[in-house]
Structures are given as C-alpha cells and as structure tokens.
Structure 1
Amino acid sequence: MTNSDYLTVQIGNKIKSIRKEIGWKVGELADKSGISIAMISKIENGRVIPTIPSLLQIIQTLNLNIGDFFSDLKSEDEFKGYIFRKRSDYTAVNKEEESIGYEYELILNFPLEKSSMEISLLTLKSQAQRASVSTSGFEYIYILKGNISFELGSEVLELDEGDSLFFDGNIPHVPQNKSSSDAVLLVVYFITMN
C-alpha cells in the first residue's frame, strides 16, 4: 500500500512552488486556469485531492510538461507495520496563503480506509493572524507549549499547556496566540473521503 495522501501534499507543494517561481498570486492562477481560488488554495495546501482534469488544467496553465511535473514525485515506502520519523524528516507546509505566524510541519500523513490521518506540529507565533477555516473530517489538538484562544464557531475556548480539544473540522475555527511567546500545538486531522 502506498501513501496517496503523501503524494497529494507533494503535488500541492510543487504547484505552489512553481506558481511562486513564476511570480503569480493564487488569484492569477485561478483566473488563468478557470479553477476557483478556494480550490487552488485547498490543493496547494494538501487539504483536498485534486481531480485529474483539475490537476491537468493547472499543469497546462503553468506551461509544464506532464511527465516533468511527476518525475520527481514519489510515494512513501510500503507500510511495514510502523512509521518512524526523525525530526529532520518533517515537511514545512504553508496551509493558508494569507496567514501570518502559522508554521505547520507535517509529521505524518497516512491513509486509513475511507479516510486519512495527518499529524502536524504547529508553531503559533505571537499575534499570529489568519481567517477561520473549516475542513472535512475531525481534528484533535494538544497544547505542547504556551496557551491559546481557540475560536470554534461562536465559542472561544482558552487552552493551556497540556489541554486538548477534539472537534468536527466542519465548524469554522482558528487558533489565536495573544501572548508574547510562541505556542506549540500537536494537530491531528482525521480527513474523511467520499
């Protein structure tokens, strides 16, 4: 079994990198490809698996050869019953284009039957800013260091070091660090696939 979601993250990161090399903003790629800004953002940030027509449209819009695009992408090794990751193997991921001070590191992304699990380490800088987001599936966060205010729908929850929260990702949410020092969160996504 290979990890298709690992490839999804690689594809998203590669599209984002090439778009930035060209000097385009997300809106420019959306206008030129005919794919919505929201969808391109979700693809680039590994939140959704792009359909083949959407992926081909993006590749063509970026004037890339399909073979060249996929040549350096690789899936993870076959699952051996466990996955060991060194800290140096974590992958930096920018999940939201307009966020400031949200530094995600992808620790693990592994498919489960009809869903996948993704584990990230989020360093939330002091006064970090972004809009609320929603994701398909469930999320679990554990505060490793510091404290945050967590906006979940119409509620604001105060979480301190050692506190945790499990919630439906479809509810609009955003963690905020109003303190003067960094907060570090372990974030686990359980993403459902149809």
Structure 2
Amino acid sequence: MEDILVNLGKQLKKVRVNKNLSLKQVAEMSDLSIGLISKIENFRTTPSLPVLLKIMQSLEVDLSELNLSPNNKEPYVLIKKGEGTVEEREDSRGLEYNFLFSDSIANSNLRLYIINVKKDVYREPISTDAIELLYVINGKLEYILNEEVIKLSEGDILFFDGSTPHALQNKNTKTATLLKLYMIQKNSY
C-alpha cells in the first residue's frame, strides 16, 4: 500500500511539473496550502479523498492516467549507483534527499554489519529468515539469487528476501566491503 501512496505523490508532482505549474499555482487553484501539497508530493502525508480530488481537478488529471503500481517485477530491488531520485523539498533547504526505495516492514529486529569479502571468495548459497539490504562501500562482487548473477559495484544497493537462496563471490583481486542490514521478523525466532 505504501508504494502506491509514494507513487501517487510522485505522479502528482510529475503532472504538475510537466504542466509547468508551481506549488503555489496548484495551491491557489485547489484552495489548499503549498505545504500540504509539498507533503503529499514527497510522501510526508497521505491525502484524504477530498484533498486528492481537489489536487487532481486543479491538475486536470484523472486517476486512471496515473501509474500507481510498483515498478519492481523482480524478487529483489537493485539500485545502481546514481539511480536514486532527488526529491526537492521546499521545507528542507540545504538538504538533498535521494529517494532509493520504500517497503513496508514491521515487527522486525535489525542487525547491521560491515562485511569484508576477500578476493577469490565464494560462499555457497544459504537462506535466512530476514529481509536483507546490502550497500557496496567499495570494490566489486557478484551476488547470486536463485542462480541469477547480479554484478555489484561501489555505491550499489541490493534489497531482497533472504529466504531466497543466495550466494556471493568476489572474483576480483581486491577485498570488497559491504554494509549489510538484516531485518529479522520477530516471529521467526
């Protein structure tokens, strides 16, 4: 559900920008505040149905014209370095928010590690009871998920369900360093 709401805000912002409308113009047309529209566009609040309808009427857009479905069709999320989306936030000047992804995760314990993967290392496939996120701090390596080889480099992020059999290998001449986050469901232990 959260992805749909995130996409709703992004899609409304995209329509506004494509129509060369400022937040102020949409606020005046919809009789809403600039701050509220900004919060909706940046998923800081969920609009009520009447508010959503006012914005859509101001933008002259129909709900069926918006792409609200999550874009990910793979059993994992891979974010290559530089692929995030910079979100402009009028109330956070001087801060650059680079949106990478979102997912609803509740009732989890977190474990965070720095992992050094030495050269010429191969770890056999394993499964865990965790959702896993890894960020390549430096170096290059390959992750294997269900026999699909995913090449990772510095700055890449991989997010996946750890119950999927996964292996890793470093065929390179240097050690690779990862930041790894395990989100373990509380009912799994």
- TM (norm. structure 2) is 0.47
Q: Which has the higher contact order (CA 8 A, sep 6+)?
A: 2
- TM (norm. structure 1) is 0.46
